[in-house]
Amino acid sequence: MSQAEFHYIGQHMPRKEDYRLLTGRGRYVDDVEVPGALHVCFVRSPHAHARIRGIDATAARGMPGVVAVFTGADLARWTTRLRMAPPIEGLQPMEMDALPIDKVRFQGDPVACVVAGDRYLAEDAAEQVQVDYEPLPVVSSMWQALQADAPRVDETLPSNLLSHQQAVFGDPQARAQAAHRVVQSTFSMHRQTHLPIETRGCAAIWDAGREHLTFHVGNQVPHPYRTTLAGRLRLSESQVTVVSQDVGGGFGQKIALYREELVVAALARELKQPVRWREDRLENLLASSQAREDFCRTRAAVDAEGRLLSLELEIVEDFGAYSFYPGNYLARVVAMILTGPYKVQDYSYDVKVVLSNKVGNGPMRAPMAITSWLMDGTLDAVARELQLDPLAVRRLNMLHPQDLPYRMATGEVLEDITPRETLEGAVAAIDYADFRRRQQEALTQGRYLGLGICTVVESTTYGSRFYKAAGIPGSGHEAAWVRIEPTGVVNASAGLGPTGQGYETSLSHAVAEGLGVPMSQVRIHLGHTDIAPYGMGSRGARGGTAGGGTLYLCAGEAQAKVLAIARHHLGLDSPAVLRLREARVERQSEGVWLPTGLSLVDIARKAYLDPTSLPEGMSPGLDFHKTYDPPPMTYSNSTHVCEVEVDAATGAVRFGRYVVAEDCGTVLSPVVVEGQQLGAIAMGLSGTLYEHVEYDDNGQNLSGTLADYLVATAHELPHIEILSMHTPNRSTPAGIKGMAEGGVMGAIGALCNAVNDALRPLGVVADRQPLTPMYLRGLIRQAQHS
C-alpha cells in the first residue's frame, strides 16, 4: 500500500501532547507529589579503582534530618545480585551487587546511601560519610585492559576481555592476496553520553498493607524494567507497578535498572516510607550510562577500479566497569550490518569488548553509530589510495535494485531499501559537480572545502528471530490493546516507553488508520505497567513498526468486529464491502462509498448495552488485544551529504549545506519523523565535533560538568535540508520501517568524510573523533611541516 492510499497515516498533524507540555502541566518524575517522601543522596567513590576497607557513617547519622545511612552490605540483604550471563560463545558472565561491597570500579561508583528529610540535608550528610579506601591500579584504556599483566576490573574473571567473537564468511584473506590493493584504515570513536536534559530520578511508594510497590521512574522499557526490579527485590511482578509518565529524553540512557533506583525501591520497603531521588547533572555525567569508545580497523581488498573484493573488520570496544547489558550487545551489531548498502560477500570480523575503570556502557542512539562512517570512510580511503572520485567508488560498489533482496555476507537480508535512490537524490540536490568546481576554486585561494557522503542502512526493528540468530537474549515482539468505549471514543495502549518522541501523535495515526476514526477520537495511554500491555518498550527504532504496527493490526481487528455488527444490523448477509471512515460506517456501491447512517457510536452502544442484538455467538463489548512479532529485521536507508570548510589556521570546522535523503517507508506522522531526523543528525554532529567523556590515566573523569562536556548549541549546528522518500516495507503492517537512529549514523560519517575531503590536498587523514580544532590543527601542522 503506498502512502497515498492511507487516510490518516502520513497526514501532517501537529502533536497531540503539546498543550500540556507547553503550558507547564507535564508530569515528569520529579513533578510527582509524594507526601512524606524521604530524599536520598549517594556517597560516590572519588577513586577509579579501590578496595573499600570500611565505611564510618557515625557522624552522618547524627546530623539534622538524617534518617539512616545504608551501605552495600545492608542492601545485599534486601536485594538479589544482577547476573548477566546469557549463553553466548565468547562472553564472560558478570555479576553486580545493589551497591559495591568490596571495591569500587569507577570514579562515581555509589558506595553508600544517605536518607534524610530533604535533599539539602541528605547532601550535607553524604559529605560526612567516611569511606576508607585502598586505591588499586587503574585500567584507563582499552589497550591497557588487554595487556596480560593489567589489573583486573572484575576479579572473578580471568582477564578484562569481557567478550570476543569472530566470524569469517567466504575467504577474505585469499581475496586480499589476489587483490590489486589492500587498503587499511582505522577509526576511533570517543566515549560519549546520552545527556537527556531531564536527568534520572525515581520515587518509590511501598504499600505495606497490600505489599505493593509503586515506582515512578522515567524509563523506556517499563515492563522489562518491572520484571528486573521485582526480581531483584524478591517480589512478584504482580507486586510492582512501574509508572513512567512524561520523560525528558532517554536516548538509551533510561533502559536498564540502575543501582540507585534499586536502592531507592528497597529502602522504601525497608523504611515503610516513600523514598525519592533526583540525580543531579554532575552525577549524570559521572555515573549514568555512557556509550561508544571503539577502535576499529578495516582492510578492504579492491581491484584497480575500486571494486570491493573483500572486507575485514576488527573492533575493540571499551565497555567500562559493569555489565548492565551483555558485552556483545552493541559492537556485534556493527559487525553484522557493516557492509550495508554495498556488495561484498567475502567478509570477516573480530570483535573484542574489554572492561575498564569507567562507567558501564549502554546503548546510545545509535548503538551501531560508527557503522556507516566505518563503511563509507573505508570507501573514501580506497578512493584516496587509488586516486578515484569518492562518489564513483560508491556507485561502483552499491547494490542495484535488481540485487534485492540481498543476503549480506553475515546472513542478514536487505529488502525494500533504496540506497541508490537516496545517494543520487542527495548528490543531485547538493549539485556534486558544482561543489567540486567551487572546491577547486577555493583551494587556489588557500581555503579547504570538503564534501562528505555517507549512505546509511539503518537496522530499525529487531524481531525475535534476529535476537535468536545474533545470540542476544530477548524478544522483539510488541503488544497493544484498543478499546472502543460505549460512547464511541477510543482508548489504546502499547508497551512502548515514551521519552518525548511524540508517540501520542504517531500512534494515534496508526490507530485512526486501522480503525477508521479521526485521530482526535483516539487517546493513547503509555508508560504505566498496570494499564499498558507487556511489551518490550522503546529501544532502537522499534516504536514505529513494533508499536505502531501492533496497534494498526489491533485497530484493524476492532474495525472488523465493528463492521460485522454493522453488517448484521443492516441485514446484509452477503460480504458487502463496508468500511469505517471518520467513525461512520460506509458501504461501497458501484465503486462509490456511501453513508449507511450508522456510526461508531451506534455500534458501540449495541456492543456494550444491547448485546442480545449482536450476531449470534458474538461476545459483547469492543475490547481488543494483539501481540505481534516483526520480521527478523527491518531497514531504513538514507544518504547524508555535508559540506564543510576547515580553517587551516585554527582547525575550526564550519558547515556549509547539509542534505539528507531518507527513505524510511510508510511514515505514521511526518511531523514526528522530521523531528527525529533533525534531532538525530544534531546528535551525530554534536558528538563528532564536541562531546567527549574524557578520563585521565588515573581514571578521573575530566568531563563532569556541562562546561567540560560540550554539546552543540543552536549556534553551531547547520540548517538541515531533508528529501523524504517512502518505499514501504512489504513485510510489515502498513509498510512501516521505523527510523530515528540513522541520522546519528549518517551525520557522523558525512561530517568526518567531509573533513577528510577538505584535508585531502594536505595528505592527512583524521581517523579519530572528536574533530576538535586542536586535533585538526595538529594534523594540518604536521602536513605543513612534512
Contact set with another protein (CB under 8 A) = 14-15, 18-19, 21-28, 30-31, 33, 120, 194-199, 246-249, 251, 278, 280-282, 499-502, 671-672, 674-675, 678-683, 705-707, 711, 713-717, 719-720
CA distance 574 to 572: 6
**Least distance CB 494 / another protein (angstroms):** 19
The set of residues, in sequence order, having a beta carbon less than 8 Å from that of 468 and lying 6+ positions away, is none
Q: Which is nearer to another protein, 207 or 716 (CB)?
A: 716
**Least distance CB 458 / another protein (angstroms):** 17
CA distance 616 to 102: 68
**Least distance CB 46 / another protein (angstroms):** 19
Characterise 281 by phi-psi region: left (phi > 0), alpha (psi -120 to 50), beta (else): alpha
Q: Helix (H, G, I), strand (E, B), or coil: what is residue 313?
A: strand
How many other CB atoms are there within 10 angstroms of residue 615's CB atom?
11
Q: Which is nearer to another protein, 550 or 669 (CB)?
A: 669
CA distance 436 to 499: 42
Torsion, CA 708, CA 710, CA 715, CA 718, rounded to 10: 160
C-alpha cell recorded at residue 576: 458487502
Q: Which is nearer to another protein, 123 or 207 (CB)?
A: 123
**Least distance CB 119 / another protein (angstroms):** 8
**Residue 432: C-alpha distances to residues 212, 244, 426, 596 (Å):** 63, 47, 9, 56
Q: Which is nearer to another protein, 331 or 661 (CB)?
A: 661
Q: Which is nearer to another protein, 65 or 137 (CB)?
A: 65
Tell me how long the chain is: 786
CA 184 from centroid of its chain's CA atoms: 30
CA distance 330 to 766: 24
**Least distance CB 27 / another protein (angstroms):** 8
- What's phi and psi for 773, nearest 5 deg? -55, -35
Spell out where 531-610 has E strands. Answer: 578-581, 584-589, 592-599
C-alpha cell recorded at residue 190: 570517543
Q: Which is nearer to another protein, 229 or 744 (CB)?
A: 744
CA distance 747 to 677: 10
Q: Which is nearer to another protein, 335 or 673 (CB)?
A: 673
How many other CB atoms are there within 10 angstroms of residue 569's CB atom?
17
Q: Which is nearer to another protein, 167 or 678 (CB)?
A: 678
**DSSP per position, 669-691:** -HHHHHHHHHHHHHHHHHHHHT-
Q: Which residues are registered as beta bridge partners of 103?
A: 51
CA distance 635 to 633: 7
**Least distance CB 463 / another protein (angstroms):** 27
**Least distance CB 163 / another protein (angstroms):** 29
Q: Which is nearer to another protein, 237 or 674 (CB)?
A: 674
Q: Which is nearer to another protein, 345 or 677 (CB)?
A: 677
**Least distance CB 175 / another protein (angstroms):** 41
Q: Which is nearer to another protein, 344 or 682 (CB)?
A: 682
**Least distance CB 281 / another protein (angstroms):** 4
The set of residues, in sequence order, having a beta carbon less than 8 Å from that of 33 and lying 6+ positions away, is none
**Least distance CB 548 / another protein (angstroms):** 17
Q: Which is nearer to another protein, 120 or 143 (CB)?
A: 120
**Residue 572: C-alpha distances to residues 145, 559, 605, 615, 616 (Å):** 74, 17, 20, 12, 14
**Least distance CB 573 / another protein (angstroms):** 48
8 closest CA partner among 739, 595, 525, 670: 670
Amino acid at 765: V
Is 496 in contact with 534 (CB distance < 8 Å)?
no
Is 347 in contact with 169 (CB distance < 8 Å)?
yes
Is 187 in contact with 375 (CB distance < 8 Å)?
no
**Least distance CB 775 / another protein (angstroms):** 23
CA distance 448 to 783: 13
Is 612 in contact with 602 (CB distance < 8 Å)?
no
CA distance 52 to 590: 82
CA distance 380 to 332: 24
Q: Which is nearer to another protein, 146 or 282 (CB)?
A: 282
**Least distance CB 657 / another protein (angstroms):** 14
User: Helices 390-397 and 419-430: crossing angle, nearest 10°?
Assistant: 160
**Least distance CB 720 / another protein (angstroms):** 6
Q: Which is nearer to another protein, 501 or 756 (CB)?
A: 501
Q: How many helices (H) and strands (E) does the chain have?
A: 21, 30
Q: Which is nearer to another protein, 516 or 537 (CB)?
A: 537
**Least distance CB 656 / another protein (angstroms):** 16
